[in-house]
Amino acid sequence: MKSGLLSRSIRFASDASKKQPWTSPLESLHIAAGGKLIDFHGFVLPVSYDNQGLIESSQHCRNKASLFDVSHMLQTRISGPNACKLIHDLTVADAKALDANSGTLTLFPMKSGGILDDLIVNKLDDDDSWYVVSNAARQDVDLPHICKHAAKIKDCKVEVITNPLVALQGPLSEQILQKLVPADLSKLTFMQGVTTTLDNSTIRITRCGYTGEDGFEISFENGAGVEKLLKSSEDLQWAGLGERDILRLEGGMCLYGNDINEQTTPYSARLLWTVAKSRRKANDFLGADVLNEEVSNKVPNSGRFRVGIAKSVKKGRAIREGMDLYSSDLSEMVGKVCSGAAAANCDYHSIGQAYVQKGTHQVGKELKAVPSGKKPSLKIAIDVTITKMPFVKTNYKN
């Protein structure tokens, strides 16, 4: 295969004909490590591990290195003479401007202006070969969307890859992985990739991740390579969905279904940076008119912006998804929390993301958070402050 990207058979994790939830090809490794498995959108994955508190495990990732099983993500290989055109038509990225073995975080836009999904596209050896990773919970939407457009433009092949996919994250990531692969990882900067080998098996490495730390996503041929990676360093340990949520929140990153969805626009979600300037100027993607109108008016059509919120006082409940946000005197509801968790690596008790109406979205604004549906009162409200994101310094290699 010209690109060197691994290729396996097609899978549909939530196929209606399959009654059993999808299980990771790495499940035996999770069980051996004391992983607590749960059903996550139809995917059985570890939420945490025995003898590892979520806070301590999150701190381990920021100080050393952690390994996340992300095999449930939808991995696709798009190839053919019109592969670049398909990426251009489907996303808001400037696909033609990407160099070989580089990638970018982008969006599947909608005609309505909403976000169908967020994803990473990687250009492989040339315009004819692309590696795409999108959200597991959206694969029943994403895959038909990709295939429908591929059929329209023709000369474009879409393959689903079922290889184990892991995210190695933390400051020791390069040091740990470099001992096992011949490729010079020091030459890779954020969003660059390489096809190389580990223990005589082909792997695809992309320098990226969803924690705010330096690290890599690695697509393996099988679980043996993952096991060898795990055993290669005492500084490396598994981390689950619980840790991932804390770390990605600290990094100010969105989770589809919580912080972005089909009703949010890139402008309201503060994701305008994912839309290439050349694409905005050309006005040549789905929903471009909606986005440019919002930017011109300096307000989303919804009237709300995504913001970071934080609670400093340790006493009382933490910020949680679904909480209603009120003005500081509780006289007016001004927004809603879309994500929330305890903080592990910053000076706050808990952190979150929310959508609040324009005029109350400024950093430093003090609000009250109230459990969803509850009558607001000082007795049940907690004090939160709109805060800059990310909550921790990001450590991407640029």
Q: What was the pLDDT predicted at 380?
A: 96
Q: Do domains 1-252 and 272-387 have the same CATH topology?
A: no
Please name the CATH architecture into which domain 272-387 falls: Beta Barrel (2.40)
Q: What was the pLDDT predicted at 383?
A: 97
Residue 143, judged by CB atoms within 10 A of its CB (0-12, 13-18, 19+), counts as middle
Please tell me whether residue 195 adopts helix, strand or coil conformation.
strand
Q: Which residues pair with 134 in a beta bridge?
A: 74, 119
Which helix or strand (DSSP H or E) is residue 390 part of? none
Can you tell me the distance from the alpha carbon of 104 to that of 122, in angstroms, rounded to the nearest whole number?
7
pLDDT-derived band at 16, boundaries 50, 70, 90: very low
Chain-wide mean pLDDT for the chain? 94
Can you tell me the distance from the alpha carbon of 361 to that of 354, in angstroms, rounded to the nearest whole number?
10
What CATH number belongs to 1-252?
3.30.1360.120
- For residue 228, report the phi and psi dihedrals to the nearest 5 degrees: -65, -40
Domain edges within the chain = 1-252, 272-387
Q: What was the pLDDT predicted at 314?
A: 87
Can you tell me the distance from the alpha carbon of 275 to that of 239, in angstroms, rounded to the nearest whole number?
31
Can you tell me the distance from the alpha carbon of 4 to that of 2, in angstroms, rounded to the nearest whole number?
6
Least confidently predicted of 7-16, 121-130, 170-179, 356-365? 7-16
Q: What are the angstrom distances between the C-alpha of 311 and each of 156, 253, 343, 366, 368?
A: 49, 18, 9, 10, 10
Can you tell me the distance from the alpha carbon of 276 to that of 10, in angstroms, rounded to the nearest whole number?
31
Contacts of 394 (CB under 8 A, 6+ apart): 212, 213, 251
How much is the average pLDDT of 313-323? 93
| Tally of residues, the chain | 398
pLDDT-derived band at 19, boundaries 50, 70, 90: low
Look at residue 2 and tell me whether its pLDDT is greater than 50.
Answer: no
Q: What is the DSSP string of 53-116?
A: -HHHHHHHHHHSEEEEE-TTSEEEEEESTTHHHHHHHHSSS-GGGPPTTEEEEEEEE-TTS-EE
Task: Tell me the per-residue pLDDT of 185-219, one tens digit each, with 9 for 90 and over.
Answer: 999 999 999 999 999 899 999 999 999 999 999 99
Task: Tell me the per-residue pLDDT of 230-269, one tens digit each, with 9 for 90 and over.
Answer: 999 999 999 999 999 999 999 999 999 999 999 999 999 9
The vertex-103 CA angle with 101 and 107, nearest 5°, equals 155
Q: What was the pLDDT predicted at 3?
A: 38
Q: Where are the alpha helices (DSSP H) in the chain?
A: 27-32, 54-63, 83-90, 139-153, 173-178, 223-231, 241-250, 277-282, 288-297
Closest by CA to 353, choosing from 327, 326, 388, is: 388
Which helix or strand (DSSP H or E) is residue 187 part of? none
Look at residue 9 and tell me whether its pLDDT is greater than 70.
Answer: no
Task: Tell me the per-residue pLDDT of 41-92, one tens digit each, with 9 for 90 and over.
Answer: 899 999 999 988 999 999 999 999 999 999 999 999 999 999 999 999 999 9
Q: What was the pLDDT predicted at 127?
A: 80
Look at residue 17 and tell me whether its pLDDT is greater than 70.
Answer: no
Q: What was the pLDDT predicted at 316?
A: 86
Please tell me whether residue 36 adopts helix, strand or coil conformation.
strand
Look at residue 12 and tell me whether its pLDDT is greater than 60.
Answer: no
Q: What are the angstrom distances between the C-alpha of 192 and each of 4, 5, 111, 187, 212?
A: 15, 14, 30, 9, 16
Task: Tell me the per-residue pLDDT of 87-127, one tens digit each, with 9 for 90 and over.
Answer: 999 999 999 999 999 999 999 999 999 999 999 999 998 88
Closest by CA to 360, choosing from 316, 278, 304, 302, is: 304
How much is the average pLDDT of 162-166? 96
